[in-house]
Amino acid sequence: MKIALAQLDYHVGNFEANAAKIIKAINEAKLSGVQLIAFSELAICGYPAWDFLEFDDFIAQCEKSIKTIASHCTGIAAIVGGPCRNPLKNGKNLYNSAWFLSEGTVQQMVHKTLLPTYDVFDEYRYFEPNTQFNCVDYLGQKIAVSICEDLWNLSEDPLYTKNPMDFLIKEHPDFAINIAASPFSFSHDASRMAVLRNNAKKYNIPFFYVNHTGAQTELIFDGASMVVHPDGSYLKMSFFEEEIRSFDLRKIKEGNFPQSDKQGKYELITQALIKGIQDYFSKMGFKKATLGLSGGIDSAVVFALAVKALGAEQVLPILLPSPYTSALSNNEAMTMVKLLGTAHKIIPIAKVMTSYSDLLNPHFEGLKSGLAEENLQARARGTILMAISNKLDYILLNTSNKSEMAVGYSTLYGDSIGAFSVLGDLYKTEVYELADYINKTWNNCIPELIISRAPSAELRPDQKDSDSLPDYSILDAILYQYIENRKGPDEIIQMGYDATTVHKILKLVNQSEYKRFQAPPILRVSDKAFGIGRRLPIVAKYLA
């Protein structure tokens, strides 16, 4: 049997485009002699569809698209992910299903059993868990079909009480196919590989695994679909690219595949962020991006990524110097503009600052100048950037990093604005490391002085980030333990960090939740990003 995995980039709710892409893949696979082709989880509607799944019309369009796809499955079978109505009154109204299509019609349904409700997942909100287990019979082969999370319950501390494969293996399947929507994080590929290898070894059959690629707002899907043999060897498809690859089942059962080199952390992150920017713009129908270019590391990295993703002609950096902006900042920002070959604008904000002061001085009389005046600069920049965005039809990219967002080191409606956050899931130390990788890969497009200089918001004379925050190496290490590892203050202090510093940082994190609640969507590249995967109350006393 010749089996194909179709790793495609879907668009949530774009039924016509999704169905056309699937049908094209089916027809091309049939011409090349493929007998079975598998598409990823909820491919027909895109993932995640969230509360669109509560609309009857949305489900009806899924069903209509499935029937259209099925009509093309003659001389070939297809496994397509999509929602399915639950015919019973008890339980949720839908299943998350794999539709087995052959001979022009729906032959069998396989429903997802394990419905994740952690981090970015909330599937039990919509779907009923499966309770019946049957393999699919096709061309003399028994196929154990499962859906994403159904393979992820083999850990020492299992989250669920059953493993679907324990039931399916009783029918002695010849191989397994898992269709998935597995979001990217820079450490996830290793975890996913371990899960697939453990399943292949435990059940002693080859596993075919097909994943989404592309991005859906903040979630990025890396593809990396693969076939895994019980001997631990594997054949892996591309990261972050659409690809359809066919496999000869007889050869797959022989195993002992040659292994390819692993990709590094920042290589994967760079590819993920570029794909995230590209898909956000293409799927929303946007073409042009703008950003405030300060001469600092964050805006420099966002600028480089935007140019790589969209092209120099589509990116407009704007320099917004104040009386406190150093000549170094202006010079290095302009150097980078020339290196990347984009147009640019320079809009000094001194007149706006003076106007604000004249307007507010009577109301601030007798009060010492401080944070309010500093924040007015950031908000003046934000207002100008949004005016350019509105007038010239550019989408504004946010340039904040995860460290700043964590402790609230940003100005609401100032530097926190933007339609889309590119670096919001990278700590400041990671931004520097990413900049180093970009320079090594893209011919030193970020001036070295931007990387080596001390970071500063430049909202007052001689200001440095270190005036308000610990060194970023210390700050980020504490933040990582609290945010990613969910460690409490005492546990972090026992790791050797200063108690006063730990308590101050954790207090800042929790007190800044209201700012993050208003943040733009953040491209997710870690295991615990701010946004849909981290849900904390704004009004809370814990550590605040």
Report the residue count for the chain.
544
> Cβ distance 126 to 85 under 8 Å?
no
Beta strand 226-228 pairing with 207-210:
antiparallel
Catalytic residue among 45, 62, 135, 148: 148
Run of H or E residues at 236: strand 234-236
Active site residue 41: yes
Task: Please list the residues that pair with 324 across neighbouring strands.
Answer: none
> Cβ distance 538 to 514 under 8 Å?
yes
Structure tokens at 500: 């006063």
Catalytic residue among 41, 332, 404, 458: 41
Where would I find the H helices in 289-326? 297-310
Active site residue 430: no
Query: Which residues neighbour 234 within 8 Å (Cβ) at sequence distance 6 or greater?
Result: 193, 196, 197, 226, 227, 228, 257, 259
C-alpha 366/C-alpha 368 separation (Å) is 7
**Sequence letter at residue 286:** F
Beta strand 289-292 pairing with 105-111:
unpaired
C-alpha 182/C-alpha 41 separation (Å) is 9
Kindly calculate the radius of gyration of the chain based on its CA atoms and give it in whole angstroms.
26
Active site residue 112: yes
> Cβ distance 371 to 467 under 8 Å?
no
Catalytic residue among 30, 45, 62, 112: 112
Catalytic amino acids? 41, 112, 148
